[in-house]
Structure 1
Amino acid sequence: MHEIRDFMANDHRACDRHLAAAEQAVARSDWALAKVAFAHFQEALLNHFAAEETVLFPLFEQSTGMYLGPTQVMRGEHAQMRQLLSAAAAALAEHDADDYAGTAETLLIIMQQHNVKEENVLYPMCDQRLADQLEALLPELQKQLAEHESTST
């Protein structure tokens, strides 16, 4: 049973689609669309981080007693990605395709590495340790992630 892993990995893919839309708009120099697509991506990614940091990670830490383990590493990577989000947004505001492309590429690489760790290590650990809490946990994660869906659709 991989409910948490599948649920959160699906949200990773949704974030990826938003980033791809922004990159395609930048490639066409459609700055207005790029800003909108990037704003959707940024909001989706930040909501994903919030769902993990306020719901999933605290439950995992309480269940395992591991407060300085994988969740701490993930939080550190989230902070790094937040900085890159800000840099990419600034490049978009200046219509600087080169700066945006470099920052977005760095962000994408970090996201891919981060997602692999979550999907192959942390989420399976969560599925194992939090299986008895899924009935309450999944709706709470969905609620946090839906914050984006309600503002972007």
Structure 2
Amino acid sequence: MEISNFMRDEHRMCDESFAKAEQAVNNGDFKEAFEHFEKFMIDTLKHFDKEEEILFPRFEEVTGNTEGPTKVMCYEHNQVRGLLEQLKDAIDKEDKERFFSVADTIMILLQQHNMKEEQMLYAMCDRVLAPQASELVEKMKAL
């Protein structure tokens, strides 16, 4: 399996959970919203861990590039982590307006972030890590 396909599929899975959380908040069902949001948050953070602990270090090792795209992606991961806490707080307080304000911000950030990963970084990983792709995907699945 190509790295890009595996990682892109994870992006889509996270997007679906987030859309369900937004729909539940829109319907005023904060209990259901929390369940979907919690899945989104856990899956997103696990995805970041797979990148930061497995994929990015191997990419940096093979390319010798530690100041390029992986550094930018990690910076954006940290921005998302902060926004996740704000979203959780908005759900906990059943604050629909605050939730959608932060949701708009996180969705714009994630859409841009995912696009950069999917169109550039993952394609580079597929090229430079091709001989190790299956091994890396298995390690990420196991994390």
Normalising by structure 1, what TM-score? 0.92
Is residue 2–residue 134 contact of structure 2 (8 Å, CA) maintained in 1? no
Runs of 5+ consecutive residues of structure 2 not aligned to the other structure:
none
Q: Counterparts of 2:61 and 2:47 in 1: how far apart (Å)?
A: 20
Q: Counterparts of 1:141 and 1:78 in 2: how far apart (Å)?
A: 17
After the TM superposition, which residues 101-120 of structure 1 pair with which residues of structure 2 at under 5 Å, given as runs? 101-120=100-119
Equivalent residue number for residue 77 of structure 1: 76
Question: What number of residue pairs does the alignment pair up?
Answer: 143
After TM superposition, which residue ranges in structure 1, 4 or more long, deviate above 4 angstroms?
Answer: none
Q: Counterparts of 1:135 and 1:8 in 2: how far apart (Å)?
A: 13
Equivalent residue number for residue 37 of structure 1: 36
Normalising by structure 2, what TM-score? 0.98
Residues 114-133 of structure 1 show CA distances to partners (whole Å, capped at 9, x for unaligned) of 00000000000000000011
Residue 57 of structure 1 and its aligned partner are, at CA, apart by 0.2
Residues 89-118 of structure 1 show CA distances to partners (whole Å, capped at 9, x for unaligned) of 000000000000010111011000000000
Q: Counterparts of 1:135 and 1:78 in 2: how far apart (Å)?
A: 25
Whichever residue aligns with residue 112 of structure 1, its letter is Q
Equivalent residue number for residue 99 of structure 1: 98
Equivalent residue number for residue 49 of structure 1: 48
Equivalent residue number for residue 11 of structure 2: 12
Whichever residue aligns with residue 46 of structure 1, its letter is L
Q: Counterparts of 1:97 and 1:76 in 2: how far apart (Å)?
A: 28
Residue 136 of structure 1 and its aligned partner are, at CA, apart by 1.1
- Where 2:51 maps in the other structure, the secondary structure is helix
Runs of 5+ consecutive residues of structure 1 not aligned to the other structure:
145-153
Equivalent residue number for residue 132 of structure 1: 131
- Where 1:95 maps in the other structure, the secondary structure is coil
Q: Counterparts of 2:93 and 2:134 in 1: how far apart (Å)?
A: 46
Structure 1 vs Structure 2 CA RMSD:
0.8
